[in-house]
């Protein structure tokens, strides 16, 4: 139950995102077997149906593939997962920048602040 999902957004896309991030950051290596639907469901605290849908979506977009009787595996080519990660990073960074800029902080100051707090 440690995935801290946003309750205001649909669950399925969030699971897809999270898995993409894990794959893009190579927390799950290319070609490696994923946790079972049930295990992911327990870890995330969501229904197995949602996880199943997420896996199927990831299969459709070519991030993972299923081997009958064996489970789900990460595709060798992880660029799609990386695309998703990049998209998310861009979104979050832009949102952060917008927030900071609206407080009237210059871009150089922002970089300074990040350097100061990055070790906390």
Partner 1 sequence: MSEILRCDHLTKQYGNLYALNDLSLLIESGKIIGLLGPNGAGKTTLIKIINGLLTPSFGTVTIEGDSPGPKTKPKVSYLPDISYLNNWMTVEQIVSMFADFYDDFRPELAYQMIQNLGIDKKMRLKTLSKGNKEKVCLILVMSRNAKLYVLDEPIAGVDPATRDYIISTIINNYNPDASVLISTHLISDIESVLDEVIFIKNGRIVLHDTVDHIREEHGMSVDDLFREVFRW
22, 42, 88, 105: which one contacts partner 1 (CB under 8 A)?
42
Contacts of 28 (CB under 8 A, 6+ apart): 22, 34, 74
CB of 53 to partner 1, least distance (A): 9
Chosen residue from 28, 41, 64, 81 binding partner 1 by CB under 8 A:
41
Torsion of CA 64, 26, 82, 9, to 10 degrees: 80
Say how far apart CA 98 and CA 70 lie, in whole Å.
46
Q: Shortest gap between Cβ of 119 and partner 1 (angstroms)?
A: 32
Task: Give the binding site for partner 1 (CB under 8 A).
Answer: 1, 5, 7-12, 38, 41-42, 44-50
């Amino acid at each position: 139950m440690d995935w801290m999902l946003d309750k205001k957004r649909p669950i399925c896309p969030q699971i897809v995102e999270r898995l993409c991030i894990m794959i893009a950051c190579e927390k799950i290596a290319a070609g490696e077997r994923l946790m079972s639907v049930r295990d992911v469901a327990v870890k995330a605290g969501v229904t197995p149906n949602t996880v199943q849908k997420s896996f199927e979506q990831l299969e459709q977009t070519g991030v993972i593939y299923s081997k009958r009787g064996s489970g789900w595996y990460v595709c060798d080519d992880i660029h799609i997962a990386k695309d998703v990660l990049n998209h998310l990073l861009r979104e979050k960074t832009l949102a952060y920048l917008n927030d900071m800029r609206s407080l009237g902080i210059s871009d150089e100051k922002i970089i300074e602040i990040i350097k100061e707090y990055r070790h906390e």
